[in-house]
Structure formats: C-alpha cells, structure tokens
Structure 1
C-alpha cells in the first residue's frame, strides 16, 4: 500500500480486469468525488514502478479497489461474498430474514441449514432490524443479517459499531439494497462510504481495520461521476489535510465517462507514468488514450452530445424522426390535444441504473420481453425533479393507489392526459412523460400493496415484477422500484 507518514488518508488502487463492474464504478466515482473536494487535490501523485501494489490475478474478471479512510482500510472487489474470509459477513435480506434470491440466497445456502434455522428463530423474536447468527460453513465468525430496504447509511453505521463493540477486525458486505430493494447504486455507494467516514471520525484507533464491499453483478456501465460535482465543496475532517497517492496498474481501460478537473489531471499523469512494473500488460495505456472514443459506448446511440454534463434536456423539432415517432404515439389517443413541445431526457445515472435493472430482469425471467413504452402524467412542479431523479414511489397515493403504493404508468396517453394526473399549470400547459417501464411478469394489483405479490406460495420471496389493473387487457401498470422506469421524453401540450 502506498502511504506517507503523517497523512490521515492514503489509498491504493489495484485494477486487474478487462471489464469494470457497474457497482464497482459507483465507488470509484464516489472516491473521485471526494478527491475533487479535497483541498490537496492538486498534490495527487501518480506512482508507478516498484511502488505500486500490482497483483495479476488468475481470474481475468477480478476487480479490486482499496483506499484508506482514517485508520480503516476500505476495499471494493467483484466476486462471491460467500468465499470471503472475514470476522463478519453481512447479508442483505428482508424482514422475514429468509430471502432466497440473489446474494442472500447464496449466503444462506453457503452458510448451511443451521444458520437458516437460527434466522427463523431470531426473526420471530424482538430485534433491532437486524439479527446476528453463527457463520455456519462460511469463513467468518458471525453473519449480521440486515434489512436491504432500510436506510443504508444507518444500517452500515450499525454494522460497523457492532463489529467495533465485539472487537472484530474485518467485515465484508454486499452493495446493500441494490438487489430486491431496488435502491439506486449511486445512493448506496454514497451511503456506504459516508458511513465508513463517520465511523473513522468517531474511532481514530478502532479495532475494526478492514471494511470490504463485495460486488456480485459485473456490468459495463458507468454511472457515478455526478457525485464528483456534488462533493466539490466537501469539508469532511477525515478527508481534509489528505494527500492521495494512487497506483493504476494492469488497467485495461478506464470507466468510459470522465468528468472533473482532478480526474483529467489523473489522466495526464497516467499517460506519462512509468509502467515498467506492469511487464507485458501495457494495454491500460492504450485504453486510456482511446478514452474519448469510448466514452459514449454505454449510452444510447441516438443521444445528443452532452458536453460532459451528467444530465440534460434536448428539445426536439417537427420533422425529426424522434419527434414524429413520439407525436404519433401520443396522438393515437390524444388527437384533440395540441403539442407545444417534445423534449428528450438524457440522464446518465438514471439510464444506467435502469439498464442494470433491465439486465437483471432479463436474466431472472429468461427472456428480454420485459419492457414497455408507457405514459405518466404529472404537474409542472414535478418536472425538474423527475428529469433529475426519476420517479419516486414515495409519492404513491397522490393521485390514487387502487392497485398498490407504487408508481403508475398508463398504456394510452389519453389516460395520463386526464387533469387528475397531468394537472394544468397557470398557463394551461399539461405534461406527460413517455417512459420506458420494466413491467416484466405481472399480476393484478390491489390497494395496500407495497411490493408485487409472490408468484409462488412456496417461495414468498419470488415476486412478480409489476402489477396491473387487468392481466388480459391492461390499461395501467404499477412498479415498486424507482429504477424500473426511465423518463425518456416529456410532452408539453394544451387542451
């Protein structure tokens, strides 16, 4: 590890991969964001040669990242959490503590029936939204089972304090809440690293020495450099008075989209770095040199150049194929309305979060016919929020929740054009989004639902993907995960 005497925080990055995990990139973005807000960011040193910690892995899919936050070593790696060797392994689950899907399924099956039985017993007793069991067959002393639906920052803080109280030295955890709970990986990355920073501030000489996030899903998606701008004015005591020394070695290619002055500095110095210790594996330099050609590889081809912005709204004009397609779809059931304008929403974070959800659903259902183009009416005040953050199921019930407390989308534009949903502003303008929605496998909904019902009575964690008003002739769909819908176009119109 690269460290300098007297520094509060130093970090070392090891990347051995020909692909970058989507969730791994979330934490890379969060690190870069913190670096942008670091008062010593101009002193970044790019280290090469024998100073680096380059460990070629036998597994070409391995990706690892390491940094020091206070006295705590923070690591990220793609892999299988059930193969981790740590004092504590964290399992992200549901309130029944018997979730048998995704990472939780792997943890419970890997730990063995004794741990499953212990979960069943403890779940029936009073608890603090988490339970602690033996490690079973896993290479850990205990497993802390937490609720993926809960606030991630508070959850991770609780885990770290529990480890510290028990004098444990290492903990491995998944990207909590990014599976069944449907949380945005951007927020999860922010919350996990913030919790570690909080812990480091509170415990300058902790027993807990290592916190590792193990990423299960590897994706070629880049999302999180929006955090760089948000953290430019960071004043975290743990990150102040800090000089970062970094080694990027054995690096096939950088994440495809780079933002911010500090990261450009890293690019320049990487291109001039001494990489003799990498040996024959020099493709990282070529990958970085080609970055500008690759930086749009994970975005739709029809998107307009964003000039390094993270999100933007592009006005379309009559005669453009996109405009005419959306106009025709709207006019199929809303011919009497007058369209004032059609805009395209380009939001990197929302798009790539949606694509992760889509790929997961495609794999789960065994086919790719999981997406529909639907409509969502809203008011003028909500437009800036939706453009920036997407749809929020927390507002369920604002216009009725007869089929569940989720976000509602209509098959026909005329449904969303009703004043109940697309309320006119002071000038009589109304707003409807044309939305990509992952409806997947669906069933009929009913009032009071907060998640889709179970498909299998013998496996209550195997849920439908969405609900509808009528499974034979649906007029609307309801989804319960915010990253299950992408607002692609906004139509502004009048009666």
Structure 2
C-alpha cells in the first residue's frame, strides 16, 4: 500500500529470502542459537557477524549496525525490542530514518518481539506500523522507497493486515463468499424477498419483472459478478409461497456452487515462499476463505472452482516435496560434479544431480552458476550452450556414512585405498605445488592424492565432533600443514595414518604427539624428509584439525586442560604466531597428498 510516497508491503514469508538493501535483525544480543529470526539471519550472515554481536550493546531504542557478511544486502540493523511497545515503535521510526541517511532504497523488517518475545501480534503491529508512519511522515524521503514487513506466522500476518487497513485504508483484507441472507420486503402488493450475497461481487440492478418459470439458478450463481462488496437479488412473485420456493432454490444453487476442502498443517507449512504467495493471491482474487479449525487443520471455503484451484496448487506443491525428497536422498548417495572454469570441481544442484543420474538430459542441464550445458554421458562431457567450451563431468558414489570429497576420483566399496598420480597440468597439482614452492626451492617430481576411505571417515567424524564442541567461531580449525617422512614410513602413513607412537624419533620439544609444520621448508629438512638412495625426499600435505590450541611442553602426552573437563585440541610452539602444530589424536590429521621432490 502507498504511504506518503513510499510503498509499504506486508509479506507472509521468511526474512532470509529477502534481497532488500537493509535487513533488520531482532535480538537480545545474548542468545544467538535459539531457533527464530535471529538464528536464521546470523546463520546466513556467517560467524563473523555473530562475533561482532557477541558482547555488543545498544541503548534502548537504538540500532546496532554491522556489515552483511553472507547475507545478500548492504547492511544488517540489529535491534532489541525489549518486549516494550514504545521501544518497538521508536525502533521502527529510527529504522526509517537510518535507512534514509544511509541512502538505502529498501528495508525488510520482522515482527519485532512477536516471535521469541511472545508479544500480542496486534500490539506489535500497532507499534511497528505507527513507528513506520511517523518515520515516513516526519522525513522528506529521497532514497527509501520500499518498506517490507516480513511476517512468518499466519496469525501475525493477519493481525498486521487488519491493523494496516485501519491505519492506512485500502483493500487489504482477505474476503470470502458468505451465506445468502434473506430479508422480506413488500413491493406494490406482491410478496418479495431480498437476498444479499456477501463477498466481492458487482452491484446488480433490480427489475420489477416476474422471474421466468424455467430460470437456471445454477448458471445465475455461477455468473455472479465480482467487484463490489454486496450483490442484492430482489425476488418478486405472486404469493409468499412462490417467493419462498424461488429463494430456497436460489440458496440451494449457491450452496451447490460452493465447497470446502481441509488440509493437514504440514501440507501448508511445507509450502515455499513462492507457493505461499500464490496461495494467498488465489485466496484473495478468488474470494475464498482460509482458516484453521479446532483440530488445527486448514479449511479453504468458497466457490468450487476457486477451491479446486487451491487444491491443485497444494497438490502440485506436495508432488514437488516428494520429488525434492527423492532428489535429496539420491544426492546423499550419488554426487555428480562438473569441472569449473578455473579447474575446480563443483557439485551440480540437487535437481540436476537427479536428472543426470536418471539420464534425463535431452534438454541439457544448468549448473550452480546458471550456466546452461548440453551433456554427452558417453564421454562424460558437458558443452556450454553460450561459449561452446567443453568440460568434464564425474560421478561419485558415496558410502552410507561418508560423502566423498569432491576432488576425489570415484571409489567402490571395495576400494579402501587409492593413490592417484596428479596430472601436472591440472589446477589441483598446481595449487599443491604452489603451497610447497612458497618456501622450498627444490624440484617437485610427483604429487599423489591419497584416497583412504577408512581414514577419511574417521577424520570427518572427528571434525564434526570438534565443530559441535567448539562452536562456529573456532570450530575444528582445519589447516593445511606439512609433515616430512621417510620412504620406510610412507606406506604405513598412507594405510593407517600418522602414528603418535613414533613421537620422539625426531623431536619432542612440544610434546609426545604428531608434528606438522606451517611452512614446507621446515618439513623439507633431511632430518624429517629423510632422503632415499636416489636422493629423492617425501613430504605429506596434511589436513589437520587444530581447534583450540595452547603452548606445548616436552613432557606432554595430551594437550593441557582448557575448561574442565575439556582439553585443548592441539599445542603449538608459539600461540601468537605458530609455525608448528602438534596433535595427540590419531584421527585429527589426514594425509591428503604426497609430494616427491629432489
């Protein structure tokens, strides 16, 4: 609806789908993990934004702004409504003012304190809409043109809609056909009854003419006009009995054209934002009524054709859900990948993954960047429809408890270990070599990728454990580090991982664990990368989970205690600028590549 030169939208949907230039996040600046608007926004924005909020303070009625992080906007405005209607109103006004000062053209605002705050939706609606109105009327807006209030729950949406109609006017309520109401009248000595049809219908003119005996009441009701709020029928007959019969037939004809359909709550809740918008649009345009009954089921009422359209819409949505469920299940079992323009493998979207697996590619595919390709599954190649560029496809079969890394070659269940010699012209080879050559002047002869299914499964389980325990900011602390080795130890490491029992063979300055260097030059020293008879040396490029780390000591066999009963996850030589990491858990490192150099 228009409000003093700007557009105010009430949107029944999820704020994380918004693409406005400013996004408002409602938070208490303490709890960022409880499900709700705040958690959804911060999950999309990323841990760096949550880190900025931790310990932040904003005066009552004031806004704390941060960059957008991963959210597709220009700024995020964090507010605390304090469950106080006056504060909420002040915040709504201040949001308008700051958007104008920041030259933002659009802003998305949630129902502040109507969710986790549990305030009455009507109170929240009144506070926000009044604050927006005062903010708009009190400023000569040059930049802000679009204010979107995003409402996740249907009862909150309807409360805002009713309040906005009272405050701003306009046709904003959902309408639905209502029963015919009979009102007796007298016309020039004849019996007459006025029948009013509530709903959005066009005004009809009454005529003092007798109704034809063979009137088709069904066709009359079907063609009911549809713009004004009330249609009146004046039924005139020679006797009361004639009029009553005619009215009864007309009422029955109306009832015959109406129907009701009931949906379970989960059928409605699983609709996407686009499908929900379509549903509300149909309910509004077809003059239907949708509401929850005492069993919390959703009932749609109105003319049969309109109800049937809604039923078809929701059935299509359910078919989509079944299809998406099949796609998700397949995606966990089989992953199709396409080699990107910079030589890096990328997963295709789930629906494309499903099409490739079902060999339904006659119309081509579209990758995650919306580039269209034709596909040759015999050659496992894809050709760009625009540029004609040809690239590779590959298919990975995942075990039930592990998703194969996207850069691996496919492995069968019986292939527990594969050692793949990398092509020197590949991006993967060049990337590994570049990290090595950054600090080592020696010549790289060969780089091999180590694909050990069992070791990777244990490593990924440990990674998930550390991520859950350490939270978003520190997480597992995965790093790419180096470990020099001998030809004798090389095969053992590839098969059974780095072994802490060998600690002490070269050094135990920081503890009895497995040592990894930040710089390849340290691991390239002959003490660690022991030269073979032909003077070649070996070095592993390892993925290492460092998590929380502390300063190491020579007598340590486990990391020191961090917060009882938890220990640190690793130790280092220097906590401010570590060049060496030591881990004490066999699964906390994975030998990713083996470099042969001389």
Coarse TM-score class (shorter-chain normalised): 0.3 to 0.5
> Greater Rg, structure 1 or structure 2?
2
**More strand per residue: 1 or 2?**
2
TM-score by length of 2: 0.33
